[in-house]
Structure 1
Amino acid sequence: MIQKYNAKIDYRPFIKVVGVSLKEFRSQRVEILEHTAVVFTNRTTVDSFFRICEEARITVPETMKYFCNTEAIALYLQKYIVYRKRKIFFADGKFDTFMELILKHKEEKFLVSLTEPNNGEVPDTMEKLKLNLSKVVLAKTVAADLEGIEPSQYDLMVFYSPSEISTLVSAFGVESIPTVATFGTSTASAAANAGLRIGTLAPSPEAPSMAKAIDIYIGKINSGQELSPVVVNGSGKAAEFLKAQEVKPGRKARPRKPEQAPADKKAKQA
């Protein structure tokens, strides 16, 4: 986009994710060894989990299973354990396929690792599916140093998480913020609730990536089109997945054969 549109792009982190301390972990009163599987959705919680186990002198059994929403996170586990297919399972990054994967192992007792704050989609959906789970916060999101940032000097600001939106509004308010681009339903909802103008969002059928969404947006602006703000409207991935589970056809019971009356031993032979 820099070459195509002569655009000026700055990269600045608005948040950073740090692992919780052992004291913060213990205050949650969660026993790791009472679970048979751990759910991971980011690398920071992986690092925090094994660091806490080391500090607390907890030996994780080799039978522990690990469920990851992407292959990248599953491969990252090799930093701490021997990679074995029979105990490491991963999805393709999509919410519905991740839930389908977990449902295939519904007999497990899951420890769901979380980053605070979080949208709660994964654990809330698992609870509604009546799975056996415990939630534990292993990392927290904190604001990064925003010194030197002047939102008014930009035509578009791009955000990937609700925490970034929260940091933005806390630091600068709303009036000085230009049009924003958002990735994901929860980020778009956070921006809309804060009263920000959303110029474009991803993923969508037209723009599966943020890069594509911005490319289309700049192209329309340069062509002189007057763009209306994006209206956020949707029930979220969790609600869609649960609704799909409700309408799934159950297994049809095999029809029973009608019971035959016992033959009359005294019947006359023809």
Structure 2
Amino acid sequence: MLKNGAKKAADVAGSVKKILITQPRPESDKSPYFELAKRFNVELEFHPFIRLEGVPSKEFRKQKIDIQQFTAVIFTSRNAIDHFFRICEEMKVSVSQDTKYFCVTEAVALYLQKFILYRKRKVFYGADGTNKSMFDVINKHKENEKFLYPVSEGQQDNDICTWLKSHNCEYATPYMYRTVSNGDVKEVLGSKDFDVICFFTPSGVKSLFDNCPQFKQNGTHIGAFGVNTSKAVEEAGLRLDIKAPQPQMPSMVAALEKFLAAK
């Protein structure tokens, strides 16, 4: 893939054998990824392109944000949930039982059970995993709410922030963690020719070019999960072949299944 011999997309179609998932390998052998691999006889390799570093509470304090002043929290990932409650614990902040939680997907919403008594809290999530569906839910409950939207460092300017601003919502976007590119991506890409690479965050796309500035897509198919990731892929000049979530395709597994079935 990093070699000069370009493969045309047409040559790859129908012969997808190796797929790189830029996330950690699932802990359970019952993951739908493995069922997909068996069904279509493809080889899956899992390797995260990024790692997360939590922002110390001392550094968070410099942002001068009082968590207890906010009545609602927006979560777009499990990582955001982890670091939000980590910061609260480190700073001995008690989150009100009346706090509302708005999540981009049901899976993210259900992850809150790790930290709160789910049934006693007000938890909302989008119908189809898109930002738009989450906006529809927020729009119904935004009156008199002050929104806290925990993000990764450098991600304070995105579609969600634009929506909140355009709808005159009072909000803050503290960063509670940061993403760092894994340094062994070049080694992983150089060891095998992958027919498909699937990304899940804009930072993963950035890591690709941090490690391989001269990367050429050639015939490699690119998949992206999430609006911001898809945007990052296209802004990097890559051709986006597999996009999720979409209607009837709420996950990357579902999007890959449709893609492989069409080959």
**1:225 aligned residue:** none
- The answer (yes or no) to whether the contact 2:130–2:245 under 8 Å persists in 1 is no
Cα deviation for residue 121 of structure 1 reads 1.4
Structure 2 length-normalised TM: 0.71
User: Which residue of 41, 48, 51 corresponds with 2:76?
Assistant: 41
Q: Relative to 1, partners in 2 of residues 1:43 and 1:186: Cα closer, same or farther, differing over 3 Å?
A: closer
- The answer (yes or no) to whether the contact 1:38–1:65 under 8 Å persists in 2 is yes
Q: How many residues align?
A: 221
**1:79 aligned residue:** 114
Kindly report the root-mean-square deviation, in angstroms, between the aligned alpha carbons of the 2 structures.
2.8
1:187-207 Cα deviation digits (max 9, x unpaired): 333223223344444445696
2:230 alignment partner, SS class: helix
**1:57 aligned residue:** 92
Instruction: Specify the code of the residue in structure 2 equivalent to 1:123.
Output: C
Q: What CA distance in whole angstroms lies between the structure 2 residues aligned with 1:142 and 1:47?
A: 17
Instruction: Specify the code of the residue in structure 2 equivalent to 1:143.
Output: S
- Structure 1 residues 98-177: aligned runs within 5 Å: 98-105=134-141, 106-118=143-155, 120-146=158-184, 148-151=187-190, 153-177=193-217
Instruction: Specify the code of the residue in structure 2 equivalent to 1:194.
Output: A
Cα deviation for residue 126 of structure 1 reads 0.9
- The answer (yes or no) to whether the contact 1:111–1:134 under 8 Å persists in 2 is yes
Which of these two proteins has the greater Rg computed from alpha carbons? 1
Q: What CA distance in whole angstroms lies between the structure 2 residues aligned with 1:215 and 1:107?
A: 43
Instruction: Give the gaps of 5 or more residues in structure 1.
Output: 222-270
Structure 1 length-normalised TM: 0.69
Identity across the alignment (%) = 35
- Structure 1 residues 1-270: aligned runs within 5 Å: 2-3=37-38, 5-85=40-120, 87-92=122-127, 93-105=129-141, 106-118=143-155, 120-146=158-184, 148-151=187-190, 153-178=193-218, 179-183=220-224, 184-204=226-246, 209-211=251-253, 213-215=255-257, 217=259
Instruction: Specify the code of the residue in structure 2 equivalent to 1:78.
Output: Q
The structure showing larger relative contact order (alpha-carbon pairs under 8 Å, at least 6 residues apart) is 2
Cα deviation for residue 79 of structure 1 reads 2.4
Q: Relative to 1, partners in 2 of residues 1:211 and 1:61: Cα closer, same or farther, differing over 3 Å?
A: closer
**1:229 aligned residue:** none
1:100 alignment partner, SS class: helix
